[in-house]
Amino acid sequence: MRAPIHSFAPVIRADARILILGSMPGTASLAAAQYYAHPRNQFWPIMDQLYGAGRTLPYALRLEQLQRHGIALWDVLARCVREGSLDAAIEPASAVPNDLPGLLRRHPGIGLVCCNGATAHRLLQRHHGAAFAASLPQLRCLRLPSTSPAHAGVSLAGKLHAWRTALGPAALNRA
């Protein structure tokens, strides 16, 4: 059996209003110890357009810029067994979720959870959907197009539009 891989600690400040969830970092991200490190992942180009948090900034400053705008990052899964980077390769029986309900209790200002792709959304619903519905009825959860290079069915412009719609000023005011 392969050894499990582990996600990163959350990137979050006390004033966070929006939580962006991935499923599990890919191999490039794990190797770099950075969220969304694959050079073709479109997360940072989108964050650059929305918040000025692009790859031209050092990683720590990108994270700071997101947090300044009330954005937090984490993953649905704490650990799993997966060959390669594809979400489809996650062995379901090995998936152990992060304590998202605990994080949300510690950060009650978060009103919006945005899942980066279908797998993150599906895992969130599987592991936490009932708990969120029961204990956090005010929490809005959105599924956004994955920024992964494996999700080529939606153009960068299409992804940017969806992310801008979800995270734009109106979304920040509602969160």
User: Which residues are tagged catalytic?
Assistant: 41
For the packed helices 43-51 and 59-68, what is the interaxial angle rounded to 10 degrees? 50
What residue type is 74 in one-letter code?
Answer: W
H or E element: which one contains 53? none
Helix (H, G, I), strand (E, B), or coil: what is residue 112? strand
Measured CA to CA, the distance from residue 148 to residue 121 in angstroms comes to 14
